[in-house]
Amino acid sequence: ARLLGSRTPLAPVIEDILLVLRRPIQDSGLEVAIDIPEGTAFAGERQDLEEMIGNLVENAVKWASSRLRLSARPLGADRLSIAIEDDGPGMSEADYAHALARGTRLDENGPPGTGLGLAIVSDLAALHGGRLGLDRAPLLGGLRARLDLPA
């Protein structure tokens, strides 16, 4: 992607994803906070960014109790950190790596899903020289999914 010069602004992608998910967000009464510095961009194709962010935001909407936060920060001159956090139940530290395995569902009684979303996001991030990490959301208490991607 860098060789071809592809750059995708982050804010419009986030806005479009939230527009698509507006109904479940409204139905759940979720408060959504966005902290994306102006000019923040991903060094890659829009559809790849949409796939990664879309999967993570959709998961957060499914599990959030009342709040969802999307933020981005530069990591040096050529890296970007994107975080999607919720105030849902989260998962145990032991389950973080297990949740990234293709076809794995930790929530057999939870919302519908195939267990492929996080694995797809992880694979796409890796194809771009990035990574997906999962941990506890420090401000909201649920899950934080962090993408480290080229900027």
For 4-53, how does the pLDDT look when each residue is reduced to its tens digit (9 = 90+)?
578 999 999 999 999 999 999 999 999 999 999 999 999 999 999 999 99
Among 107, 94, 93, 102, CA closest to 126: 102
- What's the pTM? 0.87
Whole-number Å distance between alpha carbons of 31 and 7 = 29
Q: For residues 85 and 60, is the Cβ–Cβ distance under 8 A?
A: yes
Sheet containing strand 31-35, strands side by side:
31-35, 67-74, 79-86, 143-150, 131-136
Per-residue model confidence as pLDDT tens digits over 101-143: 665 555 655 555 555 689 999 999 999 999 999 999 998 899 9
